[in-house]
Amino acid sequence: MKEYGFIRVGSIVNKLALANPMENAKELSKLIKEASKKDVSIVVTPELSLTGYTCGDLFLQSKLLDDSLKALEYLLNETKKLDIISIIGMPLKHDNQLFNVAAVIQKGKILGIVPKTLIPNYSEFYEKRWFASSIDLINKEINLLGNKVIIDSNIVFKDNKNSDIAFGIEICEDLWGVNNPSTNLALNGATIIFNPSSSNEIVGKHSYRKNLVSMQSAKTISAYVYTSSGMMESSSDVLFGGSSMIYENGKLSKENKRFEIESSLITADIDIEGLVNDRIKNRSYMGNVTNKSYQTIFVDIDNKLKEIDRTYKQYPFIPSESKKDENLSEIINIQASALARRLITIGYPKCVIGISGGLDSTLAFLVIVKAYEKLNRNMKDIIGITMPGFGTTGRTYKNAIKLVKEYGATLKEISIKDACLVHLKDIGLSSEDRSVTYENAQARERTQILMDVANIENGIVIGTGDLSELALGWCTYNGDHMSMYAVNASIPKTLVRHLVKWIADNTEGNKKRVLEDILDTPISPELLPPDKAGNILQKTESAIGPYVLHDFFLYHMLRYGSSPKKIYMLAKLTFKDSYTNDEIKKWLKVFIKRFFTQQFKRNCVPDGIKVGSISLSPRGDLRMPSDANYEAWLKEIDELND
């Protein structure tokens, strides 16, 4: 999995023997070996995990400090055959001072020492009684257990083979300060931040602490691995709960259960490639690099991962259940508010829209209704035009009419059959022909009608096409491809259905019934005649593949810049119970070929509001040549061995 940019990290909370370093070293040794068996590449332990955080003035006793060094030496010997990198918290004498440090060890060697920078001295904390800050360092090299080792807070540990896999360390209070060390560590290349901590529990602090870790992870576009001392610390005045959590770019990947007496280990697989891609895309990210001198220590970060232990959403554009109502409501509001703003600018014209009885035109129509409610406009100024053609079925025709009437808009019915027959005759195409010209002639005739009616009514044409159709080029150039404002431009097909369903669920009566029937109708452009029973014969997903797959491909390609082979690997993992590997590979190749070859359509799309993290507007998120070659992308898929 290293080739895909994944790495497994771990967070340990050890059952503590307070002020007994050797016992703690034995417990840590077991946990590190357990983490190694689970293919963890880097693991972190709590702040001062060798001694305990609450030793008080025992930190001033040479016995405790000497025992800590012996315990570290024990750990080095116990783990010298392991490839795993371990971050161990301990007190350490240096430059006539005592430092609270994290020792980074691997294969029996000390790779580096990171001292704490911000030393808390308020409320229940009085660390300055014992510990100096990294700012007070005189020499940034220490002779430790017979070896010269770098000791510095400004260290980034980078993998010899892949420098994107890099980590830095800040300790406890360092996170809580205004100018966090992790910010500068991230700016200097660290994609993973480890925080060995000792954070006590009081009411409300856990939620605040999680928010703090989440925001720092999001702000630095990093993975943040946090672990805190457990409940076997002293309870003289405060209690420690052993909070342990792993975040990736602001999102929680794994969390332990607090207030446990026994030790715990959590692991998570981090997508380093995704983090780096986000940093590259965010051109503001490197806009505040300090002049501090940072040292790079190159290390061999072992990665034995064969399968990743993480899941991906089959519907990445769909909000999670916990935030569904809030987010779906916000999406509709963004669409409607953008349209309202455009209508204000151009003098409140009427809105003209083609109503097919399908999902896309239904959503666009509902957005217009919402915009009109916002502007206190008369619904009669919404002109919904149904334009029956050769493939129109009775079901979609009836639903189109019902939809417009139920919302009090103005209905117009204009058949395109006669006009298309004349046009096909004019260009010398048989009426029995079923080529793409036959289909596109109908789409362009409909667009011409909409544009001309808009001229007559002093209105604008509202586009109904969605993000998925733009990605695949599944639209007729200068037909349904064109409008005067495109409200669905960044709404993928899978999200269109959820939005219409959400509106239906919050609607009553006949409106609800017509929306539910539209939701049950197969997706089709209805440009080919129906079957003998009058049912839809032309089904889009039979021709170009399942939209659930295409939206998944689109999301991972544009959101994270994932390679074809990585997208295929993630799709296999995510859809293993729904599609075979051959099916996924087949539709991925269709997606790539169409995505590249249809850019010319996207280069001249009308204005359309961006709603989520992905847009294909040439004025916004995607500037891509129309003649880019896709052969290397297809070849990468063909060369894959399952």
Based on the residue annotation, tell me whether 262 is a catalytic residue of this protein: no
pLDDT in the model for residue 532: 60
My answer on whether 120 and 240 are in the same domain is yes
- Residue 536: pLDDT band by 50, 70, 90 thresholds? low
Catalytic residue among 55, 172, 420, 475: 172
Q: Is 552 helix (H, G, I), strand (E, B) or coil?
A: helix
Do 246 and 253 touch, CB atoms closer than 8 A? yes
pLDDT in the model for residue 304: 86
- 313 occurs within a structural domain: no
Summarize the confidence of residues 530-535 as an average pLDDT.
61
Question: Which residue bears the tokens 């599944």?
Answer: 474
Based on the residue annotation, tell me whether 116 is a catalytic residue of this protein: yes
Domain at 253, CATH number: 3.60.110.10
My answer on whether 282 and 334 are in the same domain is no
> What is d(CA 572, CA 427) in angstroms, rounded to the nearest whole number?
47
Chain segment 339-365, per-residue pLDDT in tens: 999 999 999 999 999 999 999 999 999
pLDDT in the model for residue 528: 58
What total number of domains does the chain contain? Answer: 2
- Residue 527: pLDDT band by 50, 70, 90 thresholds? low
Residues 6+ apart with CB under 8 A from 502: 324, 325, 328, 329
Residues 6+ apart with CB under 8 A from 74: 22, 25, 26, 29
My answer on whether 494 and 401 are in the same domain is yes
Q: Is 372 helix (H, G, I), strand (E, B) or coil?
A: helix
Record the tokens describing residue 23, joined without a space. Answer: 């016992």
Give me the domain span that covers residue 384: 321-638
Average pLDDT, the chain: 94
- 316 occurs within a structural domain: no
Based on the residue annotation, tell me whether 47 is a catalytic residue of this protein: yes
- 304 occurs within a structural domain: no
> What is d(CA 315, CA 548) in angstroms, rounded to the nearest whole number?
7
Domain boundary residue, one of 299, 334, 350: 299
Record the tokens describing residue 76, joined without a space. Answer: 């080095």
My answer on whether 346 and 429 are in the same domain is yes
My answer on whether 329 and 265 are in the same domain is no
- 308 occurs within a structural domain: no
Catalytic residue among 15, 27, 47, 173: 47
- 305 occurs within a structural domain: no
Name the residue with higher pLDDT: 389 or 10.
Answer: 10
Torsion angle of C-alpha atoms 190, 192, 197, 202, degrees rounded to 10: 120
Catalytic residue among 15, 116, 140, 350: 116
pLDDT in the model for residue 93: 98
- 473 occurs within a structural domain: yes
Residues 6+ apart with CB under 8 A from 456: none
Question: CA angle, corner 217, sides to 243 and 225, nearest 5?
Answer: 40
- 283 occurs within a structural domain: yes
Chain segment 479-522, per-residue pLDDT in tens: 999 999 999 999 999 999 999 999 999 999 999 999 999 999 87
pLDDT in the model for residue 626: 95
Partnered with residue 100 across adjacent β-strands are 91
pLDDT in the model for residue 525: 58
Percentage of residues of the chain with pLDDT beyond 90: 86
Chain segment 311-327, per-residue pLDDT in tens: 999 999 999 888 899 99
Do 99 and 91 touch, CB atoms closer than 8 A? yes
- 251 occurs within a structural domain: yes
| Phi-psi label, residue 571: left if phi above 0, alpha if psi -120 to 50, beta otherwise | alpha
My answer on whether 418 and 557 are in the same domain is yes
My answer on whether 135 and 19 are in the same domain is yes
* pLDDT greater than 70 at residue 526: no
Domain at 530, CATH number: 3.40.50.620
